Amino acid sequence: SAAALLALPAGPLAGPLVDRLGARRVVVIANLLRVLTFAGYVVAGSLWQLVVLAALTFWGEGLFWPASSALVAQVADDGQRARWYAMDRALRNVGIGAGGLAGGVLVAWGGVGGYTAIVLANAATFLVAAGLVASWRGSAAAPPHPLREAEARTGYRAVLADRAFRRVLVTVFVFALCDLAFTVLLSAYVIDTLGLPSWQPGLLFALNTVLVVAGQTVVASRLEGRGQPRVLQVAAAVWALSFLLFAVVPAAVPGAAIAVLTVATAVFTAAELLQAPTSSALTVALAPPHLRGRYFGLEELLWGAARVIAPVTFTALLAGSALLPWLVLAGCCGLAFAVLAGLKPATAVVAEAKEPAGA
- CATH classification code of 163-354: 1.20.1250.20
Q: What is the dihedral of CA 235, 240, 243, 248, to 10 degrees?
A: -140
| Residue ranges of the chain with per-residue pLDDT less than 50 | 140-147, 152, 346-359
Equal CATH topology for 2-139 and 163-354: yes
* Residue 323 to residue 296: CA distance in whole angstroms: 33
- What pLDDT, on a 0 to 100 scale, did the predictor assign at position 165? 96
108 class by beta-carbon count within 10 Å (0-12 exposed, 13-18 middle, 19+ buried): exposed
Label residue 275 exposed, middle or buried (CB < 10 Å: 0-12, 13-18, 19+).
buried
Residue spans of the domains in the chain: they are 2-139, 163-354
Query: Would you list the DSSP string of 209-251?
Result: HHHHHHHHHHHHHHHTTS-HHHHHHHHHHHHHHHHHHHHT--T
| Distance in angstroms (rounded) separating the CA atoms of residues 155 and 152 | 6
Question: Quick one: fold of 2-139?
Answer: Growth Hormone; Chain: A; (1.20.1250)
The residues, ordered by sequence, that sit 6+ positions from 239 with a Cβ below 8 Å of its Cβ are: 175, 178, 268, 271, 275, 329, 333
Closest by CA to 205, choosing from 328, 125, 319, 104, is 104
Helical residues (DSSP H) of 253-323, grouped into ranges: 254-286, 292-320
What is the per-residue pLDDT for 307? 93
How much is the pLDDT for 110? 78
Q: What is the rounded distance in angstroms from the CA atom of residue 64 to the CA atom of residue 71?
A: 10
Question: If you average pLDDT over every residue of the chain, what do you get?
Answer: 88
State the Cα–Cα distance between residues 301 and 11, nearest whole angstrom. 5
Query: What distance lies between CA 69 and its chain's CA centroid?
Result: 10
One-letter amino acid of 292: R
The pLDDT value recorded for residue 151 is: 52
pLDDT in tens, 160-210: 999 999 999 999 999 999 999 999 999 999 999 999 999 999 999 999 999
